[in-house]
Amino acid sequence: MNRAPDSTSSEKQHRVTILVVEDEPLMLRLLVKFFSRHGYQVLEAADGEQAIEVYRRQKMEIDAVLLDSRLPRSTGADVFERMKAENPAVKVVMGSGYLEPQTKTEMTLAGIKRFVNKPYYLDQLLEIFEDLIKHQ
């Protein structure tokens, strides 16, 4: 599955950018390398506050966010709400080992685009982001 994001638009050449928010250093490094190898530009953050800082600085370039639900310095839900305040159209995929059904429903209603279970299956992540970007 070595598909690169479609960037053939004649109006503008845009390399798709994903912000990966993950507090586990090895997982963060793996995800950054994985998405980079598949043609994405990847920004990274290791906690909630860092994620907000990166998003505020570069929200116009960020096409989608992979956001861990449990983070130091802020919860994934709080980070999402703050990103949404910056950009109501933010596209977020929430990663989690487990979310209560009611919490998942509330987050869906708030605007989370997709959920993905941990441990991540990389091919599944790639498909989710390809689909999300394709339907901008």
Q: Is 11 exposed, middle or buried (0-12, 13-18, 19+ CB in 10 A)?
A: exposed
Domain annotation covers residue 4: no
In a domain, 33, yes or no: yes
- Classify residue 129: in a domain, yes or no: no
Per residue in 36-76, pLDDT tens? 999 999 999 999 999 999 999 999 999 999 999 999 988 89
Collapse the DSSP code of 117 into the 3-class scheme (helix H, G, I; strand E, B; otherwise coil) and give the result: strand
| pLDDT confidence tier of residue 93, bands split at 50, 70 and 90 | very high
pLDDT at site 73: 86
Q: 93 in a domain, yes or no?
A: yes
- CATH number where 87 lies: 3.40.50.2300
pTM: 0.88
Rg, the chain, Cα only: 14
- Tell me the pairing of strands 92-96 and 114-117: parallel
SS3 at position 92: strand
Number of folded domains in the chain? 1
46 domain residue, yes or no: yes
Show the CA angle centred on residue 21, arms to residues 54 and 105, nearest 5°. 115
